[in-house]
Structure 1
């Protein structure tokens, strides 16, 4: 490293007065690809290893679906029960590190240099962040999870409000409701957004302030030095590609199942794997069109449309449902979350295996697998923000919005279950008969204009599907092209196509279990990458002027 004024011909970022890395040109030469016969900017060996491995995985799952299904079915419970402590401990570290950066002197560091200006307004920035970061998950789990944790999973040993015959136990209702919301908020609050913030901050800092390529390996220059241009960096980027692709495939699988359930609920279209394959294929085609239009013309526009529709649906449920009760649940859920966040985060001495292993360990692996995708996407649109502003917005504000979403959708569903359990469609499809993709539509059935709002929900799921797919393919394309943000179009098409293909073969090879197994298996090694990334951020910020 050297001061910006003597950097071997490399211009410092605008307004930058700190230290940048002098070996950017060397690294750029090593990361330059060669345009192949199909228009691919081949970044050896990251592109070739990643692409060939994904193609081989798709053919294996299609050729031997029963064997693949058996492997997936065994892999998920083994990983979550064996490494639950590791996932929980790591997620706690990420939250503590982010909170430390907010209050530290380094919070004043501006991404891109002291004179850098934000590229997007707050509205546009938040829209892209939410659509890419939590979209399908909020739709899929917004009703399902609060009801399930209230009645079935018993987080921290909290008793269910129902006895064995399905009768309500009045003495347990208040405690079960509070825990249902607190246990859900825990999965959608500070911890997942801290995971995203770590990756996004690392990428933004080392790209915008240090002059390195916008790729995962760049964050590790303070630790590995020149080795990031060799196999050390190749392995990091390949792990990022695998984690991102399988994390996205899991979300696309959830989205296809929920869209299929909605179409069955409204139009009577049968629920089946072939229908879900058709849905994934059609929506991947729409995503390809968005990818071809680029960040501003495709992803940003769809994200803003998506957030507008989501906000309208949220307001409808809030004001048509029991508004006062929902707002009360919002406050009580925050209080319960604050009270129980430490015991829920505790990785040892727990007896609630169904909740800790079946939900929390899977969630942390899923968020970690999404982190290269969401982190790079957030980094690309966050130039000009200070570290303090960046982490506060990415960590705290989105958490509050997720809490509101869960309090509205989950609160209405819980009220329907407890006020009239005999006729509640939510109780029938979550508690009595576990049917996760239908839970949202079951809740809407208990509100006015359900046929209209169900169609809107289907559209929302599909658009979230598209924004996740096109955003993800842009990010994977950037990683495999060595950090270039303008890689050839055929390469973007390749990755968008294979995201859909992986989702299809996982659904065929084992459904939800297969999706969850692969996301955990790729999230596990990438957790180590994120832990190292915290140390790299610390070392990088120490060289920035404050």
Structure 2
């Protein structure tokens, strides 16, 4: 008998799998046949979320970062996920590679150069910064660190830590309800688990589709830079299909083979790009610049975190709230995966590998690539501003490679790195999606139904391609924010759950 059920006899929790699946299929159909109506509705919904819940995203994120620092130095930091005798399933290097590639996806490749350029040319008016100035340049990198550094990783770390502790302590059902078990009690929440899992499934699929869509645009931009006569209409679906096929091959290998191997390869590629960019670009001058960028980040940290100056400002909605909403939308389902693979690690180890190390890596990356981009923009501001507005953010990194004099080398490496990043991110995300939507799981939580991974991966790829085809990058950005609102409620409760674990771990952990 086959280990997994046949494709037509899906091993699913009906109330978890079908509502988000049908809703997402409806979104795809609506965007094809009613593109203007669909786009307007999504835009209005996104703007409402960004406007009315902006302060909530900022303050909750700030509190989460503050809380994990307390947890790190508390007695809870000594607790081992899975119990005192639990053994890790992954080496530390493999663990870090999987965490990094799961969380950043292709974001740092796409926005590492494009985002600081936006802040440089269009800084927020509430800081009274003159566009294309030294002050605007410094702020651009400080804001970049804020949007991609310690605060976003705290958003991931809190629900993931709570889920991992509860999952391996109480052996409950594999559900997001575990994140709030310290609040509800061990025997409560069963009736709500399906609704909660269903909502968060929708949130991650839209967020992942948005990231994948942005990456497809960037990949197609890279291919077009080599073959300008080719048609984007043909390139984009071809890239989407190639990513999907590669993912399907990897999906059948599981965490300890497919995801681990791809993540290690992906991490190696990231490091190679960093080293080459430093050697062939700014050289050792990058390290003093990194320290200066950190100072700028800390100077603006409290203001951006609490919206002291920027509350109610459109820049805050478009950048800070938007970025936090995306990280928040991804956090609950991603927490399932990050919590699952943390077995055998102490809470302190968990925070080092899930927060501090990835945040340091991302800020170093952003300093190198963002700093190089702004350096070239200073020399030709009109050209870069026109490129950003006309060709889009996906074109920036390729122009930077051209200005460095190593266009062919870096462009080819970036295209390959982005491709691998898509596959690894899709693999880990669909593992979480499949795990939570499975009806019957085996004794090993590392084993996931491959059929469900294929379904979710295909849906995400289709959704990404449809959105960029009919709505462009703006449609992708709008779609990704929607899941942030329900996720904000859940991670707020997860934060309270971690407070309860911090105060009395023996009461909630076996």
Alignment map for 1:293-312 (pairs within 5 Å): 293-312=253-272
Shift, 1:319, TM fit: 1.3
1:157 to 127, 130, 134: 127
State the aligned residue count.
499
Matching residue of 1:387: 347
Alignment map for 1:50-199 (pairs within 5 Å): 50-154=20-124, 156-162=126-132, 172-173=133-134, 175-199=135-159
- Against the structure 1 CA distance between its residues 345 and 155, is the aligned structure 2 distance closer, same or farther, given a 3 Å change threshold? farther
- Against the structure 1 CA distance between its residues 121 and 487, is the aligned structure 2 distance closer, same or farther, given a 3 Å change threshold? closer
For the residues of structure 1 that align with 2:312 and 2:294, how far apart are their CA atoms? 22
- 1:488 paired with 2:449, answer yes
- Against the structure 1 CA distance between its residues 506 and 420, is the aligned structure 2 distance closer, same or farther, given a 3 Å change threshold? closer
1:507 to 456, 468, 471: 468
| Secondary structure in structure 1 of the residue aligned to 2:252 | helix
* C-alpha contact (below 8 Å) 1:90/1:531 kept by paired residues: yes
Matching residue of 1:19: none
- 1:429 paired with 2:387, answer yes
* C-alpha contact (below 8 Å) 2:203/2:330 kept by paired residues: yes
2:165 to 177, 195, 205: 205
Shift, 1:178, TM fit: 1.8
For the residues of structure 2 that align with 1:324 and 1:147, how far apart are their CA atoms? 23
* C-alpha contact (below 8 Å) 1:290/1:299 kept by paired residues: yes
Which has the higher mean CA deviation after the structures are superposed, 331-340 or 535-544?
535-544
Matching residue of 1:530: 491
For the residues of structure 2 that align with 1:340 and 1:208, how far apart are their CA atoms? 39
- 1:543 paired with 2:505, answer yes
Q: Encode CA deviations 1:340-398: one digit per residue, 9 max, x unaligned.
A: 10011123552782431111111111101111343222222211211122113322221
2:412 to 445, 455, 458: 455
* C-alpha contact (below 8 Å) 1:73/1:513 kept by paired residues: no
For the residues of structure 1 that align with 2:330 and 2:349, how far apart are their CA atoms? 22
2:303 to 319, 325, 343: 343
Matching residue of 2:430: 473
* C-alpha contact (below 8 Å) 2:12/2:438 kept by paired residues: yes
- 1:229 paired with 2:190, answer yes
Which has the higher mean CA deviation after the structures are superposed, 183-192 or 266-275?
266-275
Which has the higher mean CA deviation after the structures are superposed, 527-536 or 68-77?
68-77
1:412 to 363, 372, 383: 372
- Against the structure 1 CA distance between its residues 156 and 271, is the aligned structure 2 distance closer, same or farther, given a 3 Å change threshold? farther
- Against the structure 1 CA distance between its residues 193 and 450, is the aligned structure 2 distance closer, same or farther, given a 3 Å change threshold? same
Two-structure CA RMSD over aligned residues (Å) = 2.3
Shift, 1:197, TM fit: 0.2
Shift, 1:142, TM fit: 0.6
TM-score, normalised via structure 1 length: 0.86
- Against the structure 1 CA distance between its residues 155 and 477, is the aligned structure 2 distance closer, same or farther, given a 3 Å change threshold? farther
2:12 to 36, 42, 54: 42
Matching residue of 1:276: 236
Q: Encode CA deviations 1:169-198: one digit per residue, 9 max, x unaligned.
A: xxx41x222211111000011111001101
For the residues of structure 2 that align with 1:215 and 1:300, how far apart are their CA atoms? 24
- Against the structure 1 CA distance between its residues 365 and 92, is the aligned structure 2 distance closer, same or farther, given a 3 Å change threshold? same
The answer for unaligned runs of 5 or more in structure 2 is none
